[in-house]
Structure 1
Amino acid sequence: MLRGQICSNSELSFLMEAHDGLSAAIAERAGFKGLWASGLSIASSLGYRDANEASWTQLVDAVERIVDSNTLPVLVDGDSGFGNFNNARLLARKLRQRGAAGVAFQDSCFPKMNSFVGERHPLAEIDEFSGRLRAVKDSVGTDLVLVARTEALIADHSMDEAILRAHAFADAGADAILIHSRKSTADEVLSFASAWQNRLPLVIVPTTYYRTPVSVYHDARISTVIWANHSMRAAIVAMRRICDRIIAREGTASIESHIAPLEDIFELFRYDELARAEAKYLHPGDLRP
């Protein structure tokens, strides 16, 4: 299903960020058709910085909880692969085993730093990163969608460099290209899309150029838009507001109308199914006429 979503130039798809089972379940209930297991959001939920402080095993465990909590295909933010070609292919195999539908690797050096922190992040050599991609493709084949993400524009390289890298990564076996930008407008990614000419499906992450109308992406024949960190950021605001009010008022009476009732949790995770299963398997005699 994910392959059809991000590997199609005919219809624009949207992936919603998830960082745990709860955020994944909420995204599915909202109507999204696919999820982005965000490296930033997963690291933040674990209390780490998005600088490869969380290990690849912690990422894999978080992805398993995301996958198990819903029925949507999950594209995983694999950072730079947590090392060289061998680390990248090992991570890809483990993600496949845990039920991920795809993985995105970026052409950054290990350890990476979040794209929006600092300046001129060092990039991997084109040949070396292409080797990572080939190793992943040889390891998992078509079982995982492989997205190659170039940080060339983030690192202040030229558009020509970004295009050069994308072509090399396509030759290495990528199924789609993710072009990243931290400009406040979509001009860079639209210029890239024009030059790229749809050789492979194109994925974008409009975190900073969020004012751009979605119709622009349709017209540019973008394949997939990732809303990359919005559930995590929304949760921070909501939790901060509630904590501040509870500490200030030394009670919860004033905030009950602003938080989800317990019944919402029970319904979201299908506690009713557990009750039916208990009746069927734990007390089967209760079902006899």
Structure 2
Amino acid sequence: MTNQLAATFRNLLQNRNYITGVGARDALEAKMIQRAGFDFVWSSGFCISASYGLPDASILSMKTFVEEALAIKEAINIPIIYDGDTGYGNAINVIYLTKILDEAGIAALCLEDKRFPKDTSLLAGGRQELLDAKEFAGKIRAAKDAQKSKDFTVIARTEALIAGMGQQEALDRAMLYTEAGADCIFIHSKSKTPDEIIQFVNAWTSPVPLVLVPTSYPDLTEDKIEELGKVKVIIYANQVLRAAIKASQEVLSEIKRSKGVKKIENTIATLDEVFDLQDIKSMKQNEKKYL
């Protein structure tokens, strides 16, 4: 089986110093991410959960997350990394998920080694219990065995630093996951400085590339990450969602305060910009051609 976008993603990994992508909650955001020139879209469990007004805590079903990812894929032509959380169960669930994603043309699947049900990683006081490392390695093996296209990428995400288990545990887990077949290692941190991430990267001796999400440590810019080497994937996981929330709150407050929309009309997207993102022009061309 051929998965063209998975092949595109593999090619980017092999031929670029690093690649960047942004988290999306829906197809509209994904279109904007593609138009902004990013390499891929992160189909974000956190952002999709937030779009339902729910915590990122294993509440929504696999079906809901997959449907959102497939809607995103229909809207863009750049690769998608699917945020698979804990895999929605054990290795058997992961096998089913992997087959669906690979057959649908999703480029990559990311799985994290927390226990189900999970809490989002950066939540203060959240549940951060990790699955036994060998059991999680079994999930990674299951995903690799289940993929049908040779280019489908499986990313193993360790939350050892998030859980406060230290550098050695993080390194040991990451190495075990690479032995299980992981194509990339996603190392996460809730530290406000990049120190522990830099320490991990410097200690990483495997040729398997690393994935970073500089949400809590924004001082680690792309130039600095590139200097570290070993990091091939950078994800800006939730900034678009947070920007949308902030802007929407400000617009709503102004409408309520001024009892109208006159003051905000020049600060928001025009209807023509919305029509453009909806591909209205293409629809009208097809109407002339076929109706």
The TM-score by the shorter chain falls in which range?
over 0.9
Residue pair 1:159, 1:192 contacting (<8 A) in 2 also: yes
User: Match of 1:210, SS?
Assistant: coil
Asked whether 1:115 is paired with 2:121, we answer yes
Residue pair 1:13, 1:225 contacting (<8 A) in 2 also: yes
CA distance, structure 2, for counterparts of residue 135 and residue 115 of structure 1: 24
Residue pair 2:41, 2:81 contacting (<8 A) in 1 also: yes
CA distance, structure 2, for counterparts of residue 123 and residue 170 of structure 1: 17
Asked whether 1:199 is paired with 2:207, we answer yes
2:73 is aligned, of 38, 42, 67, to: 67
User: Match of 2:20, SS?
Assistant: strand
CA distance, structure 2, for counterparts of residue 119 and residue 47 of structure 1: 18
Residue pair 2:20, 2:235 contacting (<8 A) in 1 also: yes
RMSD: 1.4
CA distance, structure 1, for counterparts of residue 14 and residue 107 of structure 2: 15
Percent of aligned positions that are identical: 37
Residue pair 1:102, 1:146 contacting (<8 A) in 2 also: yes
Residue matched to 2:91 = 85
Q: What CA deviation, in whole Å up to 9, does each residue of 1:115-153 have, x standing for no partner?
A: 011257110111100111111111115352100000000
Residue matched to 1:102 = 108
CA distance, structure 2, for counterparts of residue 137 and residue 64 of structure 1: 21
1:279 is aligned, of 268, 280, 288, to: 288
Asked whether 1:216 is paired with 2:224, we answer yes
Segments of structure 1 that go 5 or more residues without pairing to the other structure are 283-289
Residue matched to 1:287 = none
Say which one has the larger Rg: 1
CA distance, structure 2, for counterparts of residue 133 and residue 173 of structure 1: 7
CA distance, structure 2, for counterparts of residue 107 and residue 189 of structure 1: 18
State the one-letter code of the partner of 1:230. Q
CA distance, structure 2, for counterparts of residue 8 and residue 177 of structure 1: 15
Match runs of 1:133-144 below 5 Å: 133-141=140-148, 142-144=150-152
Residue matched to 1:232 = 241
CA distance, structure 2, for counterparts of residue 204 and residue 114 of structure 1: 16
Alignment length (residue pairs): 281
Residue pair 1:193, 1:220 contacting (<8 A) in 2 also: yes
Question: Are residues 173 and 97 of structure 1, via their aligned partners in 2, closer, same or farther at CA, if it must alter by over 3 Å?
Answer: same
Asked whether 1:129 is paired with 2:155, we answer no
Residue matched to 1:183 = 191
TM-score, with structure 2 as normaliser: 0.93
State the one-letter code of the partner of 2:20. F
State the one-letter code of the partner of 2:133. I
Residue pair 2:119, 2:127 contacting (<8 A) in 1 also: no
Asked whether 1:34 is paired with 2:40, we answer yes
Question: Are residues 119 and 260 of structure 1, via their aligned partners in 2, closer, same or farther at CA, if it must alter by over 3 Å?
Answer: closer
Residue matched to 1:173 = 181
Q: What CA deviation, in whole Å up to 9, does each residue of 1:9-41 have, x standing for no partner?
A: 850211111110110001111111111111100
CA distance, structure 1, for counterparts of residue 15 and residue 158 of structure 2: 19
Deviation at residue 158 of structure 1 after TM alignment: 1.7
User: Match of 2:76, SS?
Assistant: coil
Residue pair 1:179, 1:202 contacting (<8 A) in 2 also: yes
Deviation at residue 195 of structure 1 after TM alignment: 1.1
Deviation at residue 179 of structure 1 after TM alignment: 0.3
Match runs of 1:254-269 below 5 Å: 254-269=263-278
Question: Are residues 119 and 46 of structure 1, via their aligned partners in 2, closer, same or farther at CA, if it must alter by over 3 Å?
Answer: closer
Asked whether 1:247 is paired with 2:253, we answer no
Q: What CA deviation, in whole Å up to 9, does each residue of 1:180-239 have, x standing for no partner?
A: 001111111111111112420100010011012322211111111100001100100011
2:82 is aligned, of 76, 84, 90, to: 76
CA distance, structure 1, for counterparts of residue 19 and residue 254 of structure 2: 39
User: Match of 2:111, SS?
Assistant: strand
CA distance, structure 1, for counterparts of residue 15 and residue 288 of structure 2: 49
Runs of 4+ that moved beyond 4 A: none
Residue matched to 1:14 = 20
Residue pair 1:152, 1:161 contacting (<8 A) in 2 also: yes
Residue matched to 1:286 = none
Residue pair 2:49, 2:55 contacting (<8 A) in 1 also: yes
Residue matched to 2:9 = 2
Residue pair 2:23, 2:41 contacting (<8 A) in 1 also: yes
